[in-house]
């Protein structure tokens, strides 16, 4: 029982032996318990420090063990005091972290203009984490491509932490996320946790917007993992926020099916596919831009050609133009 209250095993043995025979000295204790003199001496010091030994009233130069009830009460009180101290230290650390984050946010807002280049995945990840932790109200993001499984899992903890802090999350995903089981499952779980997600058939390059005051964008959209730019210039950040808002307004909430245009009978995704293919891009390039498989592009194009009664893609382009689909 005493071990459950923080007393080590050897000291508990010594204490129990003294309870049975209080007049034993260190030498006899060592012999009885099969311990060394040093072990017994250390345990006696431990018991004394914990007040589990008291001076004898009959033999003032000797120590006697306190009663088990007293020992239990003393050890329990010690644990309670240690727990209170840990709680106090934890609260102090929490206040210190919040103060540091608030100061960082104030410092950030005092900078009227600026950009910072982050080179390499490690620096980008570090900058991303710091930026996310500085958020106080809202994070808007554009995710134009399918994220690999490991990236989704890495994002989950950050997203859950933000939602727990009361930060609003608004994410624009590619329409292709609706046909990818892993991406769709992740999006639905985040939506259930309180995040807002919408999809669109065409999105610009990756964007992270924090409190509409700071933005993180890839330096080279073709190689987003190589370098990123942290932007605090008000005019640039405001323009990015307005771009996000315009796409967000036209995008489809995750829990709704993409709308069919009344005038044409096609969806925004189908219109985007026709636009892409009309520029001469291959099925592979179209699939990459739409965030879907090449097979999906071919299937959708065959369906559009059938509806347009076209024998070739060239004829489909002409008929789409005549029908006002482009």
Residue 280 CA to residue 276 CA, distance in Å, equals 7
In the chain, ranges of CATH 3.30.870.10 domains: 115-253
Predicted TM-score (pTM) of the model is: 0.51
Pick the CATH number of 3-71 from 3.40.50.150, 1.10.10.10, 1.20.1260.10, 1.10.579.10: 1.10.10.10
Strand partners for 55: 63
Instruction: Calculate the CA 236 to chain-centre distance.
Output: 27
Confidence of residue 211 (pLDDT cuts 50, 70, 90): very high
Pick the CATH number of 115-253 from 3.40.50.2000, 3.40.50.970, 3.40.1280.10, 3.30.870.10: 3.30.870.10
Three-state secondary structure call for residue 70:
helix
Three-state secondary structure call for residue 256:
coil
| pLDDT for res 110 | 47
In the chain, ranges of CATH 1.10.10.10 domains: 3-71, 268-322
Strand partners for 228: 118, 218
Confidence of residue 202 (pLDDT cuts 50, 70, 90): confident
Residues 6+ apart with CB under 8 A from 114: 231, 232, 233
Pick the CATH number of 268-322 from 3.10.450.30, 1.10.10.10, 3.30.479.30, 1.20.58.60: 1.10.10.10
Three-state secondary structure call for residue 238:
helix
Max mean pLDDT range (53-62, 104-113, 134-143): 134-143
Of 262, 222, 214, 267, the closest CA to residue 238 belongs to 214
Residues 6+ apart with CB under 8 A from 61: none
**Is residue 100 a contact partner of residue 130, using CB atoms and an 8 Å limit?**
no
């Amino acid at each position: 029982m005493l071990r459950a209250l923080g007393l080590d095993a050897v000291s508990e043995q010594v204490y129990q032996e003294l309870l049975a025979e209080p007049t034993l000295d260190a030498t006899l204790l060592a012999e009885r318990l099969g311990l060394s003199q040093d072990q017994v001496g250390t345990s006696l010091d431990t018991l004394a420090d914990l007040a589990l030994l008291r001076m004898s009233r009959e033999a003032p130069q000797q120590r006697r063990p306190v009663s088990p009830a007293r020992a239990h009460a003393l050890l329990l009180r010690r644990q309670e005091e240690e727990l209170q101290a840990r709680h106090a230290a934890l609260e102090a650390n929490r206040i210190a972290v919040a103060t540091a984050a608030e100061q960082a946010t104030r410092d950030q807002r005092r900078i009227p203009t600026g950009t910072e280049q982050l080179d390499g995945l490690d620096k980008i990840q570090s900058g991303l984490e710091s930026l996310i932790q500085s958020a106080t109200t809202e994070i808007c993001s554009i995710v134009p491509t399918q994220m690999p499984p490991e990236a989704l899992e890495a994002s989950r903890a950050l997203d859950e932490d933000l939602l727990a802090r009361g930060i609003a999350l608004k994410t624009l995903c590619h329409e292709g996320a609706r046909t990818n089981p892993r991406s769709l499952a992740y999006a639905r779980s985040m939506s259930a946790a309180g995040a807002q997600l919408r999809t669109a058939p065409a999105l610009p390059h990756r964007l992270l917007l924090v409190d509409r005051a700071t933005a993180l964008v890839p330096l080279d959209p073709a190689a987003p993992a190589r370098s990123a730019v942290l932007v605090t210039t008000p005019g640039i950040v405001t323009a990015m926020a307005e771009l996000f808002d315009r796409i967000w307004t036209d995008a489809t909430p995750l829990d709704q099916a993409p709308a069919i245009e009344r005038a044409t009978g096609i969806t925004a995704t189908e219109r985007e596919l026709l636009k892409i293919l009309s520029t001469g891009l291959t099925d592979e390039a179209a699939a990459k831009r739409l965030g879907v498989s090449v097979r999906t592009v071919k299937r959708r194009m065959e369906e559009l050609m059938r509806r347009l009664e076209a024998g070739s893609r060239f004829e489909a382009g002409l008929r789409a133009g005549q029908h006002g689909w482009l």
